[in-house]
Amino acid sequence: MPSSPRIAAIICAAGSGTRFGSSNGGKLDQDLHGKTVLTRAVQAVASQPEVVATIVAGPATPDALAQFRDRHEAVLKTLGATICPGGIAERFETVKAGLDHIRETLNGIDAVLVHDAARPCTPPIVVRRVIDALKDHPAVVPGVPVPDTLKRAEPASSTNPSQPQVETTISRERLFACQTPQGFHFDLITRAYEQVDLTSTDDAQLVERLGEPVLLVRGDPRNLKITRPEDLDLVRAIWPTLKN
């Protein structure tokens, strides 16, 4: 890859946010120190000089996409971001839609960053580490060592579905919790998404299935993903520390 690569970023923003709860309003619309969660997540990657295009993959259905555009498009345009429809049910559908949009509208893209729209507190240094590593490695993910004791639970039973018993303790040695943005050379991520089975928990897993190496770079514990309403309190407390 060239020393000054042309990178496109895909922001995955099509999720329904069921665990966040509709009564709380969409999590991407929540205020984070004067801007929406979505805007903060886009800024995290769009501000890097190598990122020449940012694609926000939003809801798939026409009505939901139109409402999404009404809420976000004006601000996203000021960041140089464009919106395209994402997936209906699965995250990989959204990433694939973003990749298709890149192929249809852009030329000369060397690499792709894939970022979760619900990660608004990504420190700039984490994005920088991914981009710098992409110059020598075709697939890069940020991660942090798992600090907690991990236990596998027995399958929930019909008599006690909410209080499963511990089956075993799992060693946390060499275990990392992976974050986004994840970075890939464009030809590699394109090839990964040509596979028949795209079920995965992240994009790096699809690259791993090809037998290609994936480099881990240092992430940051502040790079949280908003899943539940209480996560908002954490990211609002974290945001002022990102300049440090």
Domain count, the chain: 1
pLDDT at 170: 94
Give 44-57 pLDDT, tens digit per residue: 999 999 999 999 99
The answer to whether residue 218 sits within a structural domain is: yes
The answer to whether residue 1 sits within a structural domain is: no
The answer to whether residue 75 sits within a structural domain is: yes
Q: What is the pTM of this model?
A: 0.93
pLDDT at 19: 56
* Domain of residue 165, CATH code: 3.90.550.10
Answer yes or no: is pLDDT of 17 > 70.
no
Phi, psi of 133 (to 5 degrees): -70, -30
Please give the Cα distance from 77 to 37 (Å, whole number). Answer: 16
Give 54-70 pLDDT, tens digit per residue: 999 999 999 999 999 99
Answer yes or no: is pLDDT of 164 > 90.
no
Domain carrying residue 191: 7-243
Answer yes or no: is pLDDT of 161 > 70.
no
- Please compute, for residue 30, the number of CA atoms within 13 A of its CA located in the half-sphere on the CB side: 27
Amino acid 110 reads: D
pLDDT at 154: 86
The answer to whether residue 193 sits within a structural domain is: yes
**3-class DSSP assignment, residue 108:** coil
The answer to whether residue 65 sits within a structural domain is: yes
Give 212-222 pLDDT, tens digit per residue: 999 999 999 99
pLDDT band at 23 (very low <50, low <70, confident <90, very high): very low
Please give the Cα distance from 88 to 64 (Å, whole number). Answer: 11
Task: State the average pLDDT over residues 189-208.
Answer: 96
Average pLDDT, the chain: 92
Q: Which of 15-19, 27-31, 103-107, 166-170 has the lowest mean pLDDT?
A: 15-19
Give 125-137 pLDDT, tens digit per residue: 999 999 999 999 9
Q: Which of 97-101, 204-208, 226-230 has the lowest mean pLDDT?
A: 226-230
Answer yes or no: is pLDDT of 156 > 80.
no
Answer yes or no: is pLDDT of 179 > 60.
yes
Please give the Cα distance from 72 to 75 (Å, whole number). Answer: 6
DSSP per-residue letters across 164-218: PPEEEEE--TT-EEE-S-EEEEHHHHHHHTTSS----SSHHHHHHHTT---EEEE
Task: State the average pLDDT over residues 173-185.
Answer: 97
pLDDT at 51: 97
pLDDT at 163: 79
